[in-house]
Amino acid sequence: METKVENNEEKITDKAFNRALIISILGILMCMVCLCSSTWAWFKDDVVNNKNVIESASYGIVSIVKLDGTSEEIVETEKNTYTLTSGKYQVTLNKEGDARYGYVIISDDIGSKIYTETMNDTQTTFTYVLEITADKIITFKPCLGMYAGTPDVLDGGTITF
């Protein structure tokens, strides 16, 4: 930069000032161009991939309820719902679907709930004895995942409603 010294003060010449001003303006313009182009590239970019499909696991049950000691199957009133009279029943729950873990909530028409142990890849069938003390509507609701609490009935056990 060219400077002149007068009375112990440095003064910049017009030529040096103009050169510094032009370089600063060019630097600001370059920064603005880079910012605009990177912003445009960010919003313009898109990726499409049709080969990766995300699917969730499915878990369901097939319930079979028989009068204890007989081969007589009780007919469902709805999917996994039975109207049962007092007595003992043999209940078999078969895991259906590709989920790794699942459990079943057994409920009656007055809101009582019983939780089974978790079924997994090695245990796909759950059998127990259901003792009914009065006429009830019993529903078996499959739930995906592992039951966090202590199950009320284990495989081969007996429960009373």
Per run of 10 residues, the mean pLDDT along the chain (length 161 residues) is 59 87 96 94 82 86 90 89 93 92 93 92 90 93 92 90 85
Q: Please tell me the total count of domains within the chain.
A: 2
- Same domain (yes/no): 12, 66: no
DSSP, res 137: E
What is the reported pLDDT for 53?
81
Q: Is residue 72 part of a domain?
A: yes
Beta bridge partners of 12: 3
- Its domain, for residue 125, covers 60-160
3-state secondary structure of 24: helix
Looking at the domain assignment, is residue 25 inside a domain?
yes
Please, which contacts does 71-80 make with residues 24 or more away whose CB atoms are closer than 8 Å? 77/137, 80/139, 80/140, 80/141, 80/142
Quote the pLDDT of residue 71: 85
Task: Look up tokens 């284990």; give the residue.
Answer: 154
In the chain, the largest separation of any two C-alpha atoms, in whole Å, equals: 120
Q: Is residue 147 part of a domain?
A: yes
Which three-class secondary structure state does DSSP give residue 124? coil
Residues 99 and 150 in one domain: yes
pLDDT, position 1 = 52
68 and 17 within one domain: no
The pLDDT score that the predictor gives to residue 29 is 97
Phi and psi angles of residue 138, each rounded to the nearest 5 degrees, phi first: -110, 135
Residues 133, 75: one domain?
A: yes
> 85 lies in a domain?
yes
